[in-house]
Structure 1
Amino acid sequence: MDMAAKIAALGQSLGPDVLQSVRDLFTEEQERLAASQPASFTGISYGPHERHRLDLYAPQGALSAPILIFLHGGGFLKGDKGSATNWPNANVGRMAAQSGFVGIVPNYRLAPDHQWPAGPEDVASVIAWVKANAAQHGGDPGRIVLAGTSAGAVHAAGYIKRSGTADIRAAILLSGLYGYTPLDERDTLYYGDPSLYPGRMPLEAVASTTLPLFIACAQHDPARFQQEFLALLQDRLARHGTMPRAMIVSGHNHYSLPMHLGTADRRLADEISAFIHDTTN
C-alpha cells in the first residue's frame, strides 16, 4: 500500500490515534531531515511566558533571505514547535532552511488558560522579535511570510485582523477556521462567550485583505475544514473578482498536510516556496 492509500485509509477523523499513525508514516524520513538540517538556535525567548520560545533554522551562509514564520496547530489547547528529537512542526523550519529561507517556529500560549486574543498577541510578539533580530541570523526583516496550520492558521488570520499587514509580505493558511461554520465546544475554550464570536473570528479580515494569500486544505481534511476553505475562496472571489492562490493537496489529511513537508513529496513544499519567492522579491 502506498503512502496516499495509507493516509486515505485513516479517513477524515481527528484524534490522538490518527495523529500517531500519521507521525509513524513519516518518522523515518523526517528523522533523516532532522539530522541533515539541525536548528541554528533553539529556545530563544521572545516574551515573558514560558511558552514564548522559538527555534530558528537558517541555511548556511544565509544573507538577507526571506523569512518563513510557521505556527503549529493543536486545536488551541495543544501543540509544540518541535525539537531535535521531536520532529513534527520543526520539520517546517527545516524545510524552509533547505529551500533557502530562514525558518522561525515558535510556541505560543494555549487555551483554556489563555483565551482570545492571546494567539494574535503572541504572533505580534514573534514578528517584533524577528524584525529586531533576524538580520543577524541571515534573514531580511522586510521579507516576512507568516504561515500556520489549523489553530496556527487561525492565529495567523487573527494577527491580520488585529495588527494589519504592514510587517508581513504574505500569509500561508493551511486547514484553518475563519468563521464560515459554527464554532464547537472546543472553540469556546479559546474564544470565550459565544456572543463575542462575531467580533473575534478573523473572517472579515481574511476575506477583505489585499495581502497575498496562499490557502490550502487536504483531500481528507474533516468536512468542516473543507467547508471553510471553499467558503473563503468563494468569498474572496465575490469581493476581489479573483481567488487567491490555493491548493487542495491530494493524498493527505489534516495531520499529514504539515507533517509531510520536507519529505520527497514536494508538491505543497514547491507551491509554498514559489509563493514565498513571488511575494518577497
Structure 2
Amino acid sequence: MLRFILPALLLAMPALAQITALPPETQAAIRAIGPTMGAEGVTRTAAALAALQPPPAVEPLRDQRYGPDPRHRLDVFSPGAGARPVLVFVHGGGFTGGDKTRPGAFYYDNIGQWAARSGLVGVNITYRLAPQHAYPAVVEDIAAALAWVRANIAAHGGDPARIVLMGQSAGAAHVGDYLAAHAASPGVASAVLVSGVHDVGSYPASPTTGAYYGTDPIRLAQRSAIPGLTRLAIPLFLASADLEPRPFQDQVARLNAALCLAGRCPPYLHMAGHNHFSTVFAIGTADQELTIPILALANR
C-alpha cells in the first residue's frame, strides 16, 4: 500500500513545503552553486543554509563504538523514552572522505536533530574509507552499525523493528550495496536513497569511485547494486536533485526504471531548485519536501 500512499503524498505537498519556503536569497545562492562539487560545493551550500537551521533539539550521545576501527563510530539523537521509529543516516564524501559530523559545521547533525525534533531517534554513522578500505568494506560497516542499533536502540527510546536506513551520495551508494547484499533479510523496515551511485559500471570513471570499487569493467558490472535492490521486499524511497551533476540523476533514474520493470516502482522525488548537497543540508529548515515523505515512511 505504501507504493500508493507516498506518491499521493508527494503530489499533495504544498509548494511551501519545498525550496520555495526558503528565503529568495537562499534559493538564488543554491542555484548559483548549481552542479559545483567538492569542497567548494559543500562550503558554499552550507553557508547558504546554516543560518536557517533551528537550535539543537537534543544533546546527542557521541561516538558510540560499533566495531574495532577508529571510524566505527555513531551518534544517537534521542528525544526520550519510548518505542520510536529510528532513522539511521549514512553520510557521503566521495568514498574517500566525509564524516558524520565536524566541529563548527551543522551537517550532518541537522539530520539527527530533525529526527529527534520529529519524534524519531536519529543515528548518524561513520565508516571506513577508500583507498585503505575497498569494496565491500562499507557493506560490512553498515551491517555492524545496524547490529549495534538493533541491540542498543531500545535503551535510547527507539524501536529496533522500525529502522529507516538512509544514505546520500556515496552514503546512498553504500546503503544500496548493503541492501543488495542482504536483500533476503535487510534488517531494516525501509530505506531512503538520495543521489546515489547504484550501477557503478555505467557511472563515469573517477579516481574516487575507482579507489573504492576498482577499475576492472567485469568487476564493476558485478558490483552493480541494482539486481539485488530489485529483489528487496521492503519499501524504498528515491530522491535526486535537478541542479546536481547529470550522472547522479541518471543513476537514480536507472535504479527507478529497474525497480519499476521488476514491479516494485518506488516513490521517486526529483527536487527542483536543489543541488547535490542542499537536498540534505536543508533538512531541519522550512523546506520539508524531503522530510515529509521520510516521516511518513518512518511512521507508516
TM-score > 0.5, shorter chain as reference: yes
CA contact (8 A) 2:204 2:247 kept: no
What is the CA–CA distance in structure 2 between the aligned matches of 1:163 and 1:230, rounded to whole Å?
22
**What residue is the counterpart of 1:233 in the other structure?**
256
Aligned partner of 2:190 in structure 1 is 170
What's the CA shift for 1:2? Answer: 2.9
Matched, 1:251 2:251: no
Q: In 2, distance between residues paired with 1:150 and 1:114?
A: 18
Name the aligned partner's letter for residue 131 of structure 1: R
Choose the corresponding residue for 1:38, options 45, 48, 59: 59
1:183 is displaced (CA, Å) by 4.4
Is residue 131 of structure 2 the alignment partner of residue 112 of structure 1? yes
Instruction: Show the 5 A alignment for 1:104-253.
Output: 104-164=123-183, 165-179=185-199, 181-185=202-206, 186-194=208-216, 195-240=218-263, 243-253=265-275
Contact residue 77 and residue 111 of structure 1 kept, 8 A = yes
**Secondary structure at the counterpart of residue 140 of structure 2:** helix
Q: Secondary structure at the residue paired with 2:76?
A: strand
For the residue of structure 2 that corresponds to 1:97, the secondary structure is: helix
Match of 2:14 in 1: none
2:284 partner letter: G
Q: Report the TM-score when normalising by structure 2.
A: 0.87
Counterpart residue identity of residue 94, structure 2: G
**Residue number in structure 1 paired with 2:26:** 3
Partner of 2:98: 79
Question: For residue 62 of structure 1, what is the amino acid of its counterpart?
Answer: A
What runs of 5+ residues in structure 2 fail to find an aligned partner?
1-23
Gaps of 5+ in 1: none
Is the CA contact (8 Å cut-off) linking 1:38 and 1:84 kept in structure 2?
no
Q: Is the 8 A contact 2:115 2:121 kept in 1?
A: yes
SS of 1:155's equivalent in the other structure is helix
Q: Matched residue of 2:62: which SS?
A: strand
SS at the partner of 2:274? strand
RCO comparison, higher one (Cα < 8 Å, 6+): 2
Matched, 1:100 2:115: no
TM-score scaled by length of structure 1? 0.92
Amino acid at match of 1:244: P
Segments of 4+ moved more than 4 angstroms:
none
- RMSD of equivalent CA atoms: 1.6
Question: 1:163-194 deviations in whole A, cap 9, x for unaligned?
Answer: 23341111100000110723412211001242
Cα distance change of structure 1 residues 262 and 105 upon mapping to structure 2, 3 Å threshold: same
Cα distance in 2, alignment partners of residues 215 and 140 from structure 1: 23
The one-letter code of the counterpart of 1:47 is: G
Q: Which amino acid aligns with 2:128?
A: R
Structure 1 counterpart of 2:271, which letter? Answer: V
In structure 2, C-alpha distance between the alignment counterparts of 1:85 and 1:44, rounded to whole Å: 20
2:107–2:281 CA contact under 8 A, matched in 1: yes
Asked whether the equivalents of residues 68 and 103 of structure 1 are also in contact (C-alpha less than 8 Å), the reply is: yes
After superposition, the Cα gap between the structure-2 partners of 1:17 and 1:84, relative to the gap in structure 1 and judged at 3 Å, is closer
Counterpart-to-counterpart distance in 2, 1:3 and 1:193: 39
Q: Give the match's secondary structure for 2:55.
A: helix
Pair 20,173 (structure 1): closer, same or farther in 2 beyond 3 Å: same
